[in-house]
Amino acid sequence: MKEKGLYVIFSTLVPMYLSVFLGYGSAKWWKLLTPEQCNGLGKYINYIGLPMLVFKATSQANFYVMDSRFAGADSLQKVALLFGLFTWLVFCRSGRFEWVITVVVLQGMVWNLIVLLMYEFKAAQKVLSTSNGERVEATGVSNVSPLEGGAPEEVTVEASSGRYEENTVDIDDRDDDQGPPPSQMKSSTRSIVGVVFRKFITNPNTHASVLGLVWSLITFKLKFKTPIMMQGCISINSSTVLGLVMFSIGLFIGLQLKIISCGVRSLAFSLLAKFLLGPMLMAVTSIALGLRGTILHIAILQAALPLANSPFIFAQEYDVYPDLVSTSMIIGLVLATPILLIYKIILDKL
């Protein structure tokens, strides 16, 4: 039985690692794809393939038979995690919003809409980052250099276009140590909130999540089966994106100077957050809501499952530690099996 179990595990891992290897070789050795082409592939996955996968996963979930206490413990774990991270962000000088997003993503949170909203807010936040005379683009995917010569410029947000834009205003007559007028900052902030909201509600992943939820509630309530043609359209695209995400991770790693470009310390922290912090927090919230026995074990083990494919796509699209997320996903897949076995042994002895 153990040999059969190991065979099943390797049968799942080998196809994924083959896709990663092919992507790595395509960028590192064979030079089949340029960085621009890799970026185009990421756009396809993010705006076409991933929404199909999100809709499939959401629409096939039967929320009517879901264990309420299990769902409550899972939700409470995520709320507690968000509260702790934002408390650290507000009261600690070392707190960074990028790390808040990354830790949330590394926990494999299924609240894709919240994660997406956080990424959109981070992209908008860059518009206001004008310190040290830097012009910062709000797309979240490129680094820009300081202005060369001339007067410093102030970045505002154009909300009417539905995307982040820069309007530069000469501020020669302002003292170097004087910030923008409060009224202008309030106007910029309101504009950013409006643009973030518009981008959020027009994102295909938002549409897929909402439509998937509505479709699930209708079909399972009315005992209605999804038409075969519709199933085929969703299945072929969602299955394709699974391989493309792993291939894209390989491409990204192949374009880096080092395989572990994020640094060993950052990688170790991310793995501890995933395989130790998540399960421990899940255990606390589950016990607090009265979960015991097998259902408690399942709750803790699911918190230690390896990451889904979507976190890397979001991290790459918004340029928030994609090197860390990609490396954590690859190494996490290898470590997940022995760690889950250790957790299972410990839980069985309790």
Claim to verify: residue 313 and residue 188 sit in the same structural domain: no
- Model confidence at 214: pLDDT above 90: yes
DSSP letter for 133, please.
Answer: G
Would you give the distance in Å from CA 297 to the centre of its chain? 26
User: Which among 150, 168, 200 is the end of a domain?
Assistant: 200
Claim to verify: residue 260 and residue 337 sit in the same structural domain: yes
Claim to verify: residue 196 and residue 242 sit in the same structural domain: no
Claim to verify: residue 190 and residue 300 sit in the same structural domain: no
Give residue-wise pLDDT tens across range 253-286.
998 888 888 889 999 998 998 899 989 999 999 9
Among residues of the chain, what percentage have pLDDT more than 90?
A: 29
DSSP 297-324: HHHHHHHTSPP-SHHHHHHHHHTSSHHH
- Looking at the DSSP bridge assignments, the partners of residue 169 are 154
Which range of residues forms the domain containing residue 313?
17-110+201-349
Mean pLDDT, rounded, of the chain: 80
Residue 338's alpha-carbon distances to 14, 20, 39, 275, 301, in angstroms, are 16, 21, 34, 11, 12
Number of CB atoms found within 10 A of residue 346's CB: 11
Amino acid at 253: I
Cα 306 from Cα 331, distance rounded (Å): 9
Claim to verify: residue 106 and residue 232 sit in the same structural domain: yes
Cα 212 from Cα 58, distance rounded (Å): 5
Domains in the chain, number = 2
Residue 295 · residue 66 · CB < 8 Å: no
DSSP letter for 140, please.
Answer: S
Cα 79 from Cα 272, distance rounded (Å): 19
Handedness of CA 306, 309, 310, 316 (dihedral sign): positive
Residue 229 · residue 73 · CB < 8 Å: no
Amino acid at 287: I
Claim to verify: residue 27 and residue 78 sit in the same structural domain: yes
Beta-carbon contacts of 202 under 8 Å, excluding residues fewer than 6 positions away, are 162
**Residue owning tokens 């309420």:** 68
Within a domain: residue 140? yes
Within a domain: residue 11? no
User: Which among 181, 200, 219 is the end of a domain?
Assistant: 200
Within a domain: residue 121? no
User: Which among 153, 168, 200 is the end of a domain?
Assistant: 200
Claim to verify: residue 180 and residue 300 sit in the same structural domain: no
pLDDT value for 102: 87
Claim to verify: residue 43 and residue 31 sit in the same structural domain: yes
- Model confidence at 179: pLDDT above 90: no
Residue 247 · residue 22 · CB < 8 Å: yes
SS3 state of residue 155: strand
- Model confidence at 25: pLDDT above 90: yes
Cα 44 from Cα 29, distance rounded (Å): 24
Within a domain: residue 115? no
Within a domain: residue 311? yes
- Model confidence at 168: pLDDT above 80: no
pLDDT value for 181: 64
Cα 309 from Cα 326, distance rounded (Å): 10
Residue 206 · residue 11 · CB < 8 Å: no
Claim to verify: residue 104 and residue 243 sit in the same structural domain: yes
Query: Residue 167: what are its φ and ψ, rounded to 5°?
Result: -115, 120
pLDDT value for 109: 52
Within a domain: residue 90? yes
Claim to verify: residue 277 and residue 172 sit in the same structural domain: no
pLDDT, greater one: 151 or 122 = 122
Cα 86 from Cα 174, distance rounded (Å): 34
Within a domain: residue 211? yes
Q: Which two tokens stand for residue 184?
A: 């202008």
Claim to verify: residue 160 and residue 98 sit in the same structural domain: no
What does the pLDDT average to over 88-103?
88
Within a domain: residue 328? yes
Claim to verify: residue 195 and residue 209 sit in the same structural domain: no
Give residue-wise pLDDT tens across range 110-144.
567 788 888 888 888 776 664 434 444 444 333 33
Cα 253 from Cα 259, distance rounded (Å): 6
